[in-house]
Structure 1
Amino acid sequence: MVILNTFTPSTDPFGQQWLSALVALLPIVSMLVTLGVLRWKAHVAGGFSWAVAALVAILGFGMPVGQALSTSVHGFIYGLFPIVWILLAAIWMYEVTVASGRFEDLRRTFFLISDDPRVVGLIITFCFGGLLEALAGYGAPVAITAAMLVAVGFSPLRSAVTALLANTVPVAFGAVGLPVLMAARTGGFDDVLAISPITGRITAMLCLVVPFLLLWVMDGAKGLKECWPIGLALGLSFGATKWIVSSTSLYNLTEMFAAVVSVCVAIGMLRIWHPRGGDMSRDRISVPLDAEVEKDFIPQAHDDAAAGALTGGRIMMALVPYLMVIVVFGIAAIPAVKDVLKATDIEFAWPLLAGLQEIDGSASAHTTFTFGWASTPGILLALVAIATGFIYRMSFAETMGVLWTNMKKMRFAALTIGCVVALAYVMGDSGQTLALGVAIAGAGAIYAALAPVLGWIGTYVTGSDTSANILFSGLQSSVGQQIGPGSHLGVEGMRALLVGSNAAGGVVGKMISPQSLAIAAAAIGLGGSESIILRKVFGWSIVLLILMCILTGLMSTPVLSWLI
C-alpha cells in the first residue's frame, strides 16, 4: 500500500516573512556566488545550487523528501525536453548552413545592407533576433544570433554578451505572445488587452536604451559615437511599433511587426546616411574580452572576391532556412493548426506528486508531465534543419552528422539547463519562490516601483518570462487589490500595472538566467565560460531593471499614469 503525501506549500514556514524569504534566497545566492564569484563550471554550480534548494525545501519548508526529489527529476527532464531540444534544433539548423557553405553568402547578404559590422550586429541581434523570439523563443534567438556574430567577425564573448543583451525587449511578446497571455490569465484578467499595452509600453521605452548599450558592448565609445543615429532609428521604430501593435488584437505579433518595420527603417536610412569608421572597427570587434578564455579564437578571413558574385539566386538560397522558419512557425501559429499540434501531446501523471498542491490547495501543475513532441518549437526547427540540408544538397548522413557533432558539444550545457530547471521546480513547488515574492510585496506604497523585481527574479530562477508570469501574476494582482484603493490608478488600474510590469521585468532577468548563459556559451563554442559571461551582463541587467522600476513607479503616479 502506497501512502499518499499531501503537501501544500507555505510562504512563511518560519513565522517571520523576512526570515522565510532570507532562507528562500539561499539557492539564488548560491548560484550567483558559485557561478559569478567562485567561477565554477555552470553545470557544477547548477547542481550545487539545486542541492541547496532541495535541502531548503525539505528542512526549511517541510516538503516531503520523495516529492522534493520527484519534482526535481520532473524539472530536469523538462529542461532536456523541450528546452534543450529546442536549443539543439536551432543550433543544428544554423550549423547545417555553415557546413553547406551557404552561411558565407548570408554573411555577405547582411553586409549588402551595410558594410559596417556594428550596424550588421545591430540588425542581426536586435531585429533578426527579435523576429526569432517572436516565432520560437526558448533560447533559440540567443543561440542563432550569437553564432552568427562570431561568423561575422565578433569575438566569441562579445558575441554572447551582445546576443543576451539584445534578447531582452522582445521577450515579453515572444513565442507568439505567450508570456503576456499567461500574465493576463494568471492575473485574473479576461482580456489580455488589459495587460499587453502596459507591458508593450514599458518595454517600448527600453527600446530607446538597448540599441545604444549594444553599440557600447560591440565597440565601446567609438561605436556609440559613430553609429548612434542608426541605433536611435532602430530603437524608435522598434519601440513605436511595439507601442502600437501591443495595444491591438494583433498583440501576439508585436515583435514580428517591430522586427520587420525596424529592418525596413534601417535599410531606408542607410541609403542616405553611412556611419564612419566601419573598416577600423573590424579589428576592434574581434579583440577578445577575456584573452585566456578566448585564446584559441582566430577571426575568420573572408575573401569575397574569390567567393564570386553574390547573385539574387545565391541571396535567396542563403535566406531559405530563415524564410522557412518564418513560414513554418507562421503556419504553426494559426489557431486551427496549433490545436491540431496540441492534440498530439502525450500527458501522464508524474510519480510521487499526486499529493502536491499549489498555495491555494489546488493540484500542482507539476503532478502531470506533458510530452509535447509536435507542439513545441523543437520539432519545427528540426524539420527546417533537415529540409535545409536537402535543399543545400547535403546527404542525410551529413545532416545527421552535424546534429551528432552539436549534441556532443552541448552535453554540459544540457546538464546545466537540466539542473537549473530542477532548481526552479523544487523552489516553486516548495513555496520558496513565492516566499520571496510575498516579502517584496509587503513593501507597501512604494511597491509599484518594485513590481518588476518579481518578474526579474522569476525569470532568473526559471529561465522563462512565461513561467515567471505564471508564478507571480496572481500575487501581483492580489497586491494591486490591496494597494489600489486610494491610489491614483484605482484598483483595476493598479492590478493591470503590476501584472504588466511583472511581464516586463522578466525580460531583463532573461539575460542573466543560468539557462540563457549556458545557451550562449554553447552557441559560441566556449562551454564553461558561463561565469565570465554572467559578470559581463549582470551590470547591464541591473541598469535596465532600475530604469524599469523608475518607469513603473512613475506610472503609478500622475507623472506618467497617462501612459496606461
Structure 2
Amino acid sequence: MATESVLAEYTQVYDPLGHSLALSSLVAALPLVVLFVLLGVVRMRAWLASVIGLLVSLVVAIAFYSMPAVDALNSGLLGAAFGFFPIMWIVINAIWVYNLTVETGHFDVLRRSFASISDDQRIQAIIIAFCFGALMEALAGFGTPVAISSVMLIALGFRPLKAATVALVANTAPVAFGALAVPITTLATVTKLPVDDLGAMVGRQTPILAVFVPLALVFIVDGSRGLRHVWPAALLCGVTFGVFQYVASNFWSIPLTDIIAALASALAVLAFTRVWHPREGYVESSASDPAAVHEAHAGARSPLGGGNDPAAATRTQATGDRTAPDGRGEVLKAYAPYLIIIVVFVIATRVPVITGVAPTKPGASGTGLEAATWIYNWPGLHILSDTGKTVATTFKLNVLSAAGTLLLVSGLLTMLALKVGVGQAVRTYGRTLDQLKFAIVTVMAVLALGFVMNESGQTQTLGLWLAGAGGLFALLSPILGWLGVAVTGSDTSSNSLFGALQVSAAASVHLSPTLLAAANSSGGVLGKMVSPQNLAIAASAVGLDGREGEIFRRVLIWSVAFLAFMCVLVYLQTTPLLSWMVI
C-alpha cells in the first residue's frame, strides 16, 4: 500500500528545461500567452480561448514538466470544481437576485432613485461602480460587484461596452480587503506573518491607488472633458475612500475595512452633490452613434445576453415615459434586495453564534453555519513540492457559509419582500443559468488552467524567475500578485500561491517580508480586471457574450498603468524616501 502511495505522488520540478529557470519560464508562460493572445488579438470567444489555454497548460505539464497525465487532468478537475463552487455559485445567485428585481420592475425604480441623486452619468459611475461596487466586494467578493454594478449602469443608460469597462476598472482598490478581508487572512496563513501587520501594510498601498480610480472612471465615461468638469467629486470620493481604508485597516477592523470605506465615500459624494453640480451635465446619447446602437441592441436582448425579453422591452418603454415620482414604499422595495444582502452577510459573518468555527483539516467538524462544511483531500491527487513537502490539494465545501449560499438566502428573502411567487422565481433561476452558461464554462476552464499550472509547477517557475532579480525584486513583486490574479481571478488564490515565495525572496534580498507579502496582494488587485473569468462575467452581465476580447483590450491599458504605479510605490517603500510607510 505504501508503495502504491509513493508511485501515485508527483514531485514538482521548477526548472525542467536544462535546469534553467529562464528557459523553463518561456515554456511555463505559454498557456497564459496563448490565452491572452486569443482573447486580445484573435478576439476569440472567452470560453473557447480558455479551453484552448487549458489544453496548452496540460500539454506543458505533461510534456515538459513530466507530470503524469492522470494527475494533470485531475488537477484540472479540482480547479474546475473550485471555479463552480464557490466562484460561479456566487455569481449565479447574485445575478438571480438582480433578475428578480428586473422581473418585478423594481430595478427600474432603483435606477430612477440613483438617477435622482444625479442624472450625470459620470457621477453615477462613481457612486455605483466604485462606492456600491466596493460594498459588494466587501461582502461577497469574486465576480459579484462586477456583475451587479455593470447591469445597474446598463439600466441607467450606459452603453454595454462602457458599463463593463467601468465596472471592471472600478473593481480594484477594494479587492485586497474583499469578502471581509479573506485575501489578507489567507496571506497571513501562508506567510506566518501577523494578520494585523499585513492588513496595515496593504492599507498603506491600496488607499493611494484608490485616490486615482474614480478619476479613471470619469475619464472612461467622458474623456478629458469629464475630468475637467467632475474632478472635484471624483477626487473627493477617492480621497475619502483611501483615508477610511487606511484608518480602518490600521486602527479599527481589517474585515470591515471596505464596508467602512465604501459607505464613507458614498456619503461624501452624496453630501457634496447636494451643494455642487458639474458645470455641464453628461448623459450619453446613442441615437447618433452606430456602435452604440449596435451595443444597445446586443444588450437589449437581456441584461445577461440570454435572448429577447419582450417583457423587459415593455417595462423599458413604460418607465421611459413615466413622469410621476415613485412612492417611498416602492423605493424602499427597490433597495430592499441590497439591504437584505448587507444584513444577511453581516449577521452570517459577524455574529459568532451563527458564524461558528470552521474545520481546519479533513475530517474535522465545525459549529454554527460551519457545521455544514466539509474539507476533502481531492481523490487521487498527491503532489509534493521540490523540497518534499506535501502540496495542499483539498477542496472545501462550505454549504451554508459560502457567499453564494448567503446570496441564495438573500434571494429567498427578496422573494418575500417583492412578493415574487415560487413559480416565477424558479423560472427566473432557470433563465439565469441559461444566460450564464458560457460564463460558467469560461470560469471553470480558467480555474482548471490555473490549477494545472500551479500543481505542475509552471506558476512557481515564473515566480522564482522573477524572484531572481535581486534588489530589483521589490519593483517586480507586485507583478507576481498581478500574474496570480490574472490566472485565477482571485486575490485570495494569488496570495495562497505566491505569499510564501514573496517572504522567501524578501529574506534573500534583505527586504521587509511584510512589505513584499503585502505587495503581492496590492499588485494582485490590478490583475482582476484582465482575468478571463471576470471578463466573462462582465460580458455576460451586459449581454456581450463573445466580445470579451474587446473588453480585455479596453481594460488592459488601465491594468498595466495602475500596476506600473504600484510597482514604483512598492520600490520606493524600500528606499529612504518612503521607508517610513513600512510596518
Aligned position for 1:517: 535
Shift of 1:282: 3.1
Q: 1:413 is matched with which residue?
A: 439
Deviates more, 1:442-451 or 1:244-253: 244-253
After superposition, what is the alpha-carbon deviation per residue over 1:193-234, rounded to whole angstroms, capped at 9, x for unaligned?
A: 211122112110011211111011112222222111100110
Alignment partners' CA distance in 2, 1:348 and 1:243: 37
Task: Specify the alignment match of 2:426 in structure 1.
Answer: 400
Which residue of the partner structure matches residue 206 of structure 1? 209
| 1:369 maps to which of 392, 395, 405 | 395
Aligned to 2:60: 56
Letter matched to residue 127 of structure 1: C
Give the Å deviation of 1:304. 6.7
Aligned to 1:144: 148
Cα deviation, residue 292, structure 1? 5.6
Is residue 350 from structure 1 mapped to residue 378 from structure 2 by the alignment? yes
1:401-451 per-residue CA deviation (whole Å, 9 max, x = no partner) reads 111111111111111111000000000000000100000000011111111
SS at match of 2:211: coil
Distance 2:186 2:349 in 1: 16
Distance 1:336 1:508 in 2: 36
For residue 331 of structure 1, the aligned residue among 336, 342, 347 is 347
The C-alpha deviation readout for 1:217-273, integer Å capped at 9, x for no partner, is 112222222111100110010011111111125011111000010011111111210
Equivalent pair of 1:50/1:422 in contact (CA under 8 Å): yes
> What stretches of structure 1 move > 3 A for 4+ residues in a row?
1-4, 284-305
Query: Within 2, Cα distance between the matches of 1:471 and 1:288?
Result: 45
**Separation (CA, whole Å) in 2 of partners of 1:231 and 1:542:** 21
Q: Which one-letter code corresponds to 2:416 in the other structure?
A: F
Report the equivalent of 1:229. 232
Q: Measure how far apart 1:59 and its partner are.
A: 1.1
Structure 2 CA distance for aligned equivalents of residues 294 and 409 of structure 1: 17
Give the alignment partner of residue 543 of structure 1, picking from 538, 558, 561.
561
Aligned twin of 2:175: 171
CA distance in structure 1 between the aligned counterparts of 2:237 and 2:202, rounded to whole angstroms: 19
Cα deviation for residue 110 of structure 1 reads 1.1
Instruction: Check the 8 A contact 2:206/2:522 in 1, yes or no.
Output: yes
CA distance in 2, matches of 1:288, 1:168: 31
Q: In structure 2, give the amino acid aligned to 1:352.
A: G
Q: Point out the more displaced range, 341-350 or 395-404.
A: 341-350
Whether 2:479 is the aligned partner of 1:477: answer no
| Shift, 1:32, TM fit | 0.6
Q: Which residue of 1 aligns with 2:273?
A: 270
Aligned-pair identity in percent equals 40
Secondary structure at 1:195's aligned position in 2?
Answer: helix
* C-alpha separation in 2, matches of 1:457 and 1:49: 15
Deviates more, 1:321-330 or 1:337-346: 337-346
Partners of 2:318 and 2:251 in 1: CA distance = 45
Q: Hey, what does 1:283 align to over in structure 2?
A: 285
1:301 Cα deviation after fit = 5.5
Name 1:433's counterpart in structure 2.
459
Cα distance change on mapping 1:289 and 1:510 into 2, 3 Å: farther
Instruction: Give the superposition deviation at 1:115.
Output: 2.4
* Aligned residues of 2:16 and 2:64 also touching (Cα < 8 A): yes
Unmatched segments (≥5 aa) in structure 2: 301-312, 357-367
TM-score (norm 1): 0.94
Structure 1 unaligned blocks of 5 or more: 485-490
* Aligned residues of 1:165 and 1:210 also touching (Cα < 8 A): yes
| Aligned ranges 1:297-336 → 2 under 5 Å | 297=299, 303=319, 306=322, 308-334=324-350, 335-336=352-353
Aligned to 1:192: 195
1:529 aligns with 2:529: no
Give the alignment of 1:228-267 within 5 angstroms.
228-267=231-270
User: What's the counterpart of residue 362 of structure 2?
Assistant: none
Q: Is the 8 A contact 1:157 1:289 kept in 2?
A: no
- 1:424 equivalent in structure 2: 450
Alpha-carbon contact 2:119-2:283 (below 8 Å) kept: no
2:54 pairs with 1:28:
no
CA contact (8 A) 1:211 1:234 kept: yes
Distance 1:301 1:53 in 2: 48
Contact 2:355 2:370 in 1 (8 A): yes
Which stretch shows the higher mean deviation, 331-340 or 259-268?
331-340
Asked if the contact 1:154–1:286 (Cα under 8 Å) also holds between the matched residues in 2, the reply is no
Partner of 1:93: 97
Evaluate the alpha carbon distance shift between residue 285 and residue 91 of structure 1 in structure 2; reply closer, same or farther with a 3 A threshold: farther
Q: Give TM-score scaled by structure 2 length.
A: 0.91
Structure 1 Cα separation of the partners of residues 152 and 422 of structure 2:
24
Distance 1:233 1:445, change over 3 A: same
Kindly state the Cα deviation for residue 386 of structure 1 after the two structures are TM-superposed.
2.1
How many aligned residue pairs are there?
Answer: 552
By how many angstroms is 1:303 displaced? 4.5
Q: Following superposition of structure 1 onto structure 2, how do residues 448-527 of structure 1 map, counting pairs within 5 Å?
A: 448-484=474-510, 491=511, 494-527=512-545
| Whole-angstrom distance in 1 between the partners of 2:201 and 2:385 | 28
- Partner of 1:20, secondary structure, is helix
- 1:337 counterpart letter in structure 2: I
Q: Secondary structure at the match of 2:203?
A: helix
CA root-mean-square deviation: 1.9
